[in-house]
Amino acid sequence: MSGVIEADRRHVWHHLTQHKPYETIDPRVMIEGIGMRVWDATGKEHLDAVSGGVWTVNIGYGRETMADVIRDQLLKLNYFAGASGSVPGALFAQRLIEKMPGMSRVYYSNSGSEANEKVWKMVRQISHRHHGGKKSKILYRERDYHGTTFGALSAGGQAQRNAQYGPFMPGFVEVPHCLEYRSQWGPVDDYGERAANAIEDVILREGPDTVGCLCLEPITAGGGIITPPEGYWERVQDICRKYDILLHIDEVVCGMGRTGTWFGYQHYDVEPDFVTLAKGVASGYAAISCTVTTEAVFDYFRDDADDPLSFFRDISTFGGCTSGPAAALENMRILEEEKLVDNSARMGERLIGNLQALMEKHAVIGEARGQGLFAGAELVSDRESREPAPEALVKAVVADCMSNGVIIGAQNRSLSAGLNNTLLFAPALIATENDIDEITETVDAALMRIFG
């Protein structure tokens, strides 16, 4: 493997990585994955507690049937532009909509960033066609993340991810976060309602007739695994209806069972106008993302065929790849037949329970939170003041776990300095009790070594 490692060092530009250290150490190269385990080029085995590093491989590694259906589809028809349909595209759209009451249409592309961009283009076109171009602003939430393109960065609530990439697109406006642990109003009994009302305050400041869409993650992911407080989503839904604002829920991370339901928003009895999906749709076996809309949204673009500006004038080249929906169909079959969404709920209770038990042992854990197999442990230097633990020590915990054969995550220089202090967990939905216990036992040992 020395040749591979050297080729990587000389020629590959890794994501989210400072390469200066590779002048003296080898880059990590992963070579194989089976179930919950992956092996690197040195032969070291790791239990993967973050599903491929970015919460993607929901059904685990090494699924032969996934490879089989992709191969068969590629031989049958590998690609045709999305202006035409395909068999797997039609069948997966039908199966997906069955899981999403109230939704109706699926627009294919190939990444979460791109899926979100489609929503904002739709909102802007609706604004021009039906609101005189005025109702065009996109609201997004502090700490939420929606991708890496300029539109997605413009809707990005993570300061360090955005740093040095401005100026951004106009018409994107931030609303406050909803992390009760770091309440903007101190300890209050009605935090959820206050956090939602803070969105209404922004709408009133900007002018309701200028706001076209509110974009939120159902559970904030990279911003710290923030589960919404009681009463929050109900009030958000009321606000959107009151001011005729389209609700866009970004399920790129939470979708396809990650939180113990098929989609994260389904925990909260809300009715979105747009839902965007990517990572877990095919569990990383093929590139695919989906922008899902209601029929009412679709009807905004159903008009006289002679009008050259009436339809959604957008294309995603690789949204025409048939391997994506073929893989997504098999991914859904596996999720259903192996009852992995239910397993996510059960194992999620164990994971979060184990993390909360670690709080009793380690004062450095200020809060453990999450939903399903999607959890975070926020590390603090002092529980009373809630001063965040230094980022260097948070990274040291991650590195210690890695050296002991368990891959966990942490916020990677995304929020403002000092707030990147949460350990992140998103094991595959196939996780067993033994897997969960191994993950948290390794974290326990790491915290002992780093913090004492």
| 31: CATH | 3.90.1150.10
DSSP string, 305-318: TT-TTSS-----GG
Tell me which of 305, 338, 371 is where a domain ends.
Answer: 338
Beta bridge partners of 370: 375
When mean pLDDT is compared across 245-254, 267-276, 324-333, 412-421, the lowest value belongs to 412-421
Its domain, for residue 131, covers 65-338
Q: At what angle do helices 87-98 and 323-337 cross, to 10 degrees?
A: 40
Which residue, of 318, 338, 358, is where some domain finishes?
338
Residues 401 and 290 in one domain: no
Q: What is the mean pLDDT of residues 87-101?
A: 98
Q: How confident is the model at residue 306 (pLDDT cuts 50, 70, 90)?
A: confident
With 90 as the cut, is the pLDDT of residue 277 above it?
yes
Assess whether pLDDT exceeds 80 at residue 412: no
**pLDDT tens digits, residue range 31-56?**
999 999 999 999 999 999 999 999 99
Coil, strand or helix: which one is 287?
coil
Q: Do residues 244 and 374 share a domain?
A: no
If asked whether residues 93 and 33 sit together in one domain, one would say no
Answering whether pTM is above 0.75, one says yes
pLDDT recorded at residue 275: 98
**Mean residue pLDDT across the chain:** 96
Claim to verify: residue 201 and residue 317 sit in the same structural domain: yes
Q: Quickly state the pLDDT bin for 353 (edges 50, 70, 90).
A: very high
Q: 266: closest CA among 331, 244, 114, 275?
A: 275
The pLDDT score that the predictor gives to residue 183 is: 97
126 lies in the same domain as 263: yes
pLDDT bucket at 398, cuts 50 / 70 / 90 = very high
Q: What is the mean pLDDT of residues 104-121?
A: 98
**Lowest-pLDDT choice from 99-113, 182-196, 296-310:** 296-310
Q: Are 188 and 194 in contact (CB under 8 A)?
A: yes
Q: Which of 109, 414, 56, 49 is nearest to 253 (CA)?
A: 56
Predicted pLDDT at 403: 97
The fraction of the chain above a pLDDT of 90, given in percent, is: 94
The number of residues in the chain equals 452
pLDDT band at 414 (very low <50, low <70, confident <90, very high): confident
153 shares a domain with 232: yes
Pair 325, 443 in one domain: no
Asked if residue 436 has pLDDT above 80, the reply is: yes
Number of neighbours of residue 234 by Cβ within 10 angstroms: 16
Q: What is the pLDDT of residue 415?
A: 78
Do 184 and 299 fall within a single domain? yes
Does one domain contain both 181 and 289?
yes
Quote the pLDDT of residue 452: 81
Residues of the chain with pLDDT > 70: what percent?
Answer: 100
pLDDT mean over 92-96: 98
* Of the listed ranges 10-14, 116-120, 302-306, 402-406, the one predicted with least confidence: 302-306
Is the separation of the CB atoms in 195 and 143 below 8 Å? no
Run of H or E residues at 153: helix 150-154
Predicted confidence band at 278 (pLDDT cuts at 50, 70, 90)? very high
> Residue 312 belongs to a domain with what CATH number?
3.40.640.10
129-163 pLDDT, tens digit each: 999 999 999 999 999 999 999 999 999 999 999 99
pLDDT for 135? 97
Number of domains in the chain: 2
Show Cβ contacts of residue 415 under 8 Å, excluding neighbours closer than 6 positions.
143, 158, 159, 160, 223, 224
If you average pLDDT over residues 66-95, what whole number do you get? 97
Q: Provide mean pLDDT across the span 371-393.
A: 97
Q: Model confidence at 308, in pLDDT bands (50, 70, 90)?
A: confident
Q: How far is CA 203 from CA 60, 145, 240, in A?
A: 42, 20, 10
pLDDT at 325: 98
